Amino acid sequence: MSGEKEKVEARKKDWVRIAFFMLSPVIGILGTAAYSWKYGVRWWEPTLFLVLYALVGISVTAGYHRLFAHKAYDCHPVVQAFYLFFGSMALQNSILAWGSDHRVHHRYVDRDWDPYNIQRGGLWAHILWIFYKGKPDRTFDDVPDLQKNALVQFQHRHAAWFGIVGGLGIPTVIGWAMGSALGGLLWGGFLRVVVIHHTTFFVNSIAHLYGSRPYTETNSARDNPWIALLTNGEGYHNFHHRFPADFRNGIRWYQWDPSKWWIRGLKAVGLARGLRKTPALVIERARLQTAVGRAEARRAGAPHPLQDAIGQRLDAAQHSLERAAVLWAELQEKGRRDWKEFREQMTEARRQRRAAVRMLGSLPEGA
């Protein structure tokens, strides 16, 4: 593909999708509210919503996204089947199509070929891009690994049926068994589908508009902990766009990322392996590089003493990071177990970088 700016090919509107995405919130939100107003809320209805929300949500984040789209780890075929079945209940297309769209998004983020390009507006990135039909001759050549997966191919052929029968039929049957098929359909079906839809879409819209960019400023993706709370940890989006193959999004122990905890749990019981994790040295180097770029853009307007102080902090961080890199290489080559000095240098690099960032934050916006 040439580097020239490409125009998005004119596509026809998909009126079936438009009708579904317009009507499902009416049924899911207003219908559930009206039903609950008339009949009350039974304990099993919100429980059914939460259980299915958790099963479908983790299948989208840990399965569709981190396993299939980014190959951040490997897992047992039984877990893959779990992801594919419950992921289809999200009614967000098959993983073959979902994964293809997502890889294109990462490859061309913020450019015309990005299917949910935030430069076309928040509403476009959130939902409007879905309202158009795909190319009739789509081949999925950009996801050859997924094409080779027999389970993925089976789900692709039957995704619509899995989504409708599973996503709407199962909660209806459970509701019928509990005394109200309509209650099951509304709470576990439509309301759950609507919430899953729009929390997932928040990652494409809000997490490209609002939040911080500590790891890279080369694209619009942002870390937003509020979105992480709604999406099993997917809100740490700036980190994810900088290191998409990492099985984590929230890298600190305290950052809300149930998907990484779920994946670690699978590994602990022997159902997952090959968890890909970006080395701390590489992460800190990215953060320092971003801080240096931000400093160069804003330091010129600051008083000279502050300019010098910021520069000294960044130089000290760079020195510690270089020393840490040398120690890392020695540890890897010699198989040494003494990581004390390496950790000390990493800690010092972080301390100096954070001090420089705090100083930059004290500058007026026009600086």
pLDDT tens sequence across 192-217: 999 999 999 999 999 999 999 999 99
The model's pTM: 0.85
pLDDT at 353: 67
pLDDT at 346: 66
Q: Final residue of a domain: which of 247, 273, 299?
A: 273
Is the predicted pLDDT of residue 167 greater than 60, yes or no?
yes
Where in the sequence is the domain holding 267, given as residue range(s)? 15-273
Is the predicted pLDDT of residue 259 greater than 50, yes or no?
yes
Q: What is the pLDDT of residues 58-102, one digit of tens each?
A: 999 999 999 999 999 999 999 999 999 999 999 999 999 999 999
**Which one-letter DSSP state was computed for residue 54?**
H
Q: Which of 114-118, 288-292, 325-329 has the lowest mean pLDDT?
A: 325-329
Give the residue from 221, 174, 177, 176 showing the smallest Cα distance to 202: 221
Whether 357 and 236 share a structural domain: no
**Is position 350 within any domain?**
yes
Q: What integer is the mean pLDDT of 334-346?
A: 64
Whether 118 and 258 share a structural domain: yes
Whether 332 and 239 share a structural domain: no
Whether 73 and 114 share a structural domain: yes
Whether 111 and 241 share a structural domain: yes
If you compute the radius of gyration of the chain from its CA atoms, what whole number of angstroms results? Answer: 23
Is the predicted pLDDT of residue 29 greater than 70, yes or no?
yes
Higher pLDDT, 236 or 313: 236
Whether 252 and 323 share a structural domain: no
Is the predicted pLDDT of residue 367 greater than 50, yes or no?
no
pLDDT at 6: 43
Is the predicted pLDDT of residue 133 greater than 90, yes or no?
no
pLDDT at 285: 80
Whether 235 and 331 share a structural domain: no
First to last CA, the chain: 39
**Is position 340 within any domain?**
yes
Q: Final residue of a domain: which of 250, 273, 296?
A: 273
**Is position 335 within any domain?**
yes
**Is position 10 within any domain?**
no
Whether 335 and 189 share a structural domain: no
Residues 37, 44: Cα–Cα separation, whole Å:
16
Give the residue from 316, 39, 51 showing the smallest Cα distance to 179: 39
Q: Final residue of a domain: which of 273, 292, 314?
A: 273
**Is position 7 within any domain?**
no
Total domain count for the chain? 2
Counting residues of the chain whose pLDDT is more than 90, the rounded percentage is 70
pLDDT at 172: 97
Q: What integer is the mean pLDDT of 261-274?
A: 98
How many CA within 13 A on the CB side of residue 123? Answer: 1
Is the predicted pLDDT of residue 2 greater than 50, yes or no?
no
Is the predicted pLDDT of residue 148 greater than 60, yes or no?
yes
**Is position 3 within any domain?**
no
Q: What integer is the mean pLDDT of 127-133?
A: 94
Do residues 131 and 14 lie in contact, with contact meaning Cβ atoms separated by under 8 Å? Answer: yes
Is the predicted pLDDT of residue 226 greater than 60, yes or no?
yes
pLDDT band at 1 (very low <50, low <70, confident <90, very high): very low
Whether 227 and 288 share a structural domain: no
**Is position 108 within any domain?**
yes
Residue 273: its H or E element? strand 272-273
In sequence order, the β-bridge partners of residue 272 are 75
Higher pLDDT, 43 or 9: 43
**Is position 333 within any domain?**
yes
pLDDT band at 127 (very low <50, low <70, confident <90, very high): very high
pLDDT at 136: 75
Higher pLDDT, 140 or 301: 140
